[in-house]
Structures are given as structure tokens and as C-alpha cells.
Amino acid sequence: MTGGWSWYVSALVALNIVGCVWLIWWTGRRRPGDPSPEQTSHYWDGDITEYNKPMPRWWIILFYLTIVFSLGYLLYYPGLGNWRGTSSWTSGREHDADRAENQARIDAAFAPYAEKPVEELAKDPTVLRLGQAIFANNCAACHGADARGARGFPNLTDTIWHWGGLPQDILDSVTNGRQAMMPPLRAAFASEAEIDETVAYVRSLSGQSVDKELAARGEPRFAATCAACHGPEGKGNTLMGAPDLTDSYWLYGGDAATVKQTISEGRNGQMPAHGPLLGAARARVVAAWVYAQSHAQPQAQAQVAPQ
């Protein structure tokens, strides 16, 4: 905080401490002429009397000791503005120490799996249980608890992989993340009609019912604008994350309006890198669990909730 705010906080703390001392002293003393504790002149129903007995001395001493303790606390710990305290304690440093201790325990627990191949780990029931827990805590928010995905989030239990489904591909996706590279292409077409023609051709690649003449006019436009990423036959490119347009799987939807939106506006889906968050060993374990979901491992399949 700034110097001004530091002085303000320090003055406020000091004022509160002085105020507490004064309040205890002022309320705990008796003044000349005060009636005795039994003579308050406060009576109800004739025989109910209010007394005004002072606090016991030991009680007042405890209050003062509490204030002395607070002064020692403020000297040892930071509590007076920018004053760091004689201990130089900070919550950030304590957090880092606790985190390092916990991380050391986690690293020791996952050390046996750090160098094993993903496909080998995918056959280990213990690894699958650990991987499922890691997935639930870090991946389920996007891909679902059953890993079957949602609109814009891939299904991880099938055999369709935009970035490749080999063990190393999956591990790379978990560790380094992925960034969609579908640019908006509206400016590449001279008119809305040309976009509609391209949409018809793209949808025809997956066997959908479209206007054949419209699709035929869209084929050369696809070749000129889209084939560089998706390939001349529309079968995609896992090196770029470009999806295969000839299957029935559509990440954002395969209806005409959605495909047109995708072509016109592009897509900017992002898979964040989990390597820095999980560490190499845990990333490998969760990659093994994901790999197992689409590679018919009996142990892994048992982990996926039935639909």
C-alpha cells in the first residue's frame, strides 16, 4: 500500500488500542461521591434492585494483558500498515511453503509413473483410478464427468481426434494445450451466395442431404479456400487440428446455419496447457486415462458412467 494509507492504517490501529486502554480504565474506576454498588436507586416492584458492582480486579488485569499481547503481536507480525514485523512473516511465503510441501508429497506418490509409456499406464487399474480423479478435478468442467464432451468440447471416448489420438498426441494436448486455428473467412468470398455454396459442399462431404447443384458450385471454392487446411478431400489434418469433414462428428454442429457461421466467423476454441498445473507425472497419468477411454481398455471403460 502507499505511504499515506500505511500511516492511516497504523494510526487507526494505535487509536483503537489507546481507546481500549482508556475505556477499561474509565469504566473500571470509582469516582468520589459515587453510590455504593448496592445503592443505585434503581428498584422495580419494590424489592428488585439493580446493582452496579465493579468488574473484578483479575478480570481487568486480563483485559490489560490482552492489550499487551496485541502490542507484541503487532511487533512480531505485520499489522501496522507497511510494517513487516520482526518475523518478516507473510501469508504468501507461508502459502508457498505449504504448497511446496504438498507438491513434494504428490511428486513422491506419482514418481513411479513419471517415465512409463502412456499406453502401458493405460492398462494399470491404479493409474486409471488416479487419472480419473485428476480428470474430474481439472478436465470435467469442459469435457464432462464422463469425458463425452459437449458443443465446442471434444468427446474423448470415441476414435475421432482432431489433433491425433496416439499416446504422445494426447500427452502433448494435456501438457501443452491446443489452440484452434480456424480463421474467419467471410472476406475470402465475394458474396453470401458463395458462402452458401461452400456450406453445401462441406455438408455433402459427410453424406448430408444438400442441393447437389449448389454443392457442385461450392467444390472449387472449397478447393481454393479450405483445402489448404482440411485437405483436398476434406479429411482434415491432425498436425493443424483441422477436423475431418467427411465423418459424422461435428464439434460445433453440422447444420447449414452452424457451418456457415463457422466458415464466416471462424472458431477460437482453446485447450489450456495443464503441464504447468499438473506437472509431468500427473499429466502423463491423466493422459493414460483419456487414452484408455477410446482404446477399449476394460478397466478404463468401467470408469465411464453409462449413458
- At 301, is the pLDDT very low, low, confident or very high (cuts 50, 70, 90)? very low
Residue 135: how many other CB atoms lie within 10 Å: 22
Model confidence over 110-164: pLDDT tens digits? 999 998 999 999 999 999 999 999 999 999 999 999 999 999 999 999 999 999 9
Give the pLDDT of residue 297: 47
Percent of the chain with pLDDT over 70: 95
- At 79, is the pLDDT very low, low, confident or very high (cuts 50, 70, 90)? confident
Give the pLDDT of residue 251: 95
Q: Which residue has the cell 486480563?
A: 62
Rounded-to-integer distance, Cα 142 and Cα 108, Å:
29
Give the pLDDT of residue 29: 77
Give the pLDDT of residue 183: 94
Q: Sign of the C-alpha dihedral, residues 185, 190, 196, 201? A: negative
Centroid of chain to Cα 260: 32
Give the pLDDT of residue 155: 96
Give the pLDDT of residue 296: 57
Rounded-to-integer distance, Cα 157 and Cα 138, Å:
17
Model confidence over 160-184: pLDDT tens digits? 999 999 999 999 999 999 998 899 9
Rounded-to-integer distance, Cα 55 and Cα 264, Å:
80
| Average pLDDT of the chain to the nearest whole number | 90
Render the burial of 261-285: b for 16+ CB within 10 Å, e for the rest.
Answer: bbbbeebebebebbbeebbebbbbb
Q: How far apart are the first and last CA of the chain?
A: 54
Model confidence over 7-20: pLDDT tens digits? 999 999 999 999 99
Q: Is 230 exposed, middle or buried (0-12, 13-18, 19+ CB in 10 A)?
A: buried
Model confidence over 41-63: pLDDT tens digits? 777 877 787 877 778 889 999 99
Residues 6+ apart with CB under 8 A from 47: none
Give the pLDDT of residue 288: 97
Alpha helices in the chain (DSSP H): 3-28, 57-76, 91-110, 118-121, 125-138, 140-143, 167-176, 192-205, 212-225, 227-230, 256-265, 275-293, 298-301
Check pLDDT > 90 for residue 206.
yes
Rounded-to-integer distance, Cα 104 and Cα 107, Å:
5
82-106: average pLDDT: 91
267-282: average pLDDT: 94
CB 127 within 8 A of CB 121: yes
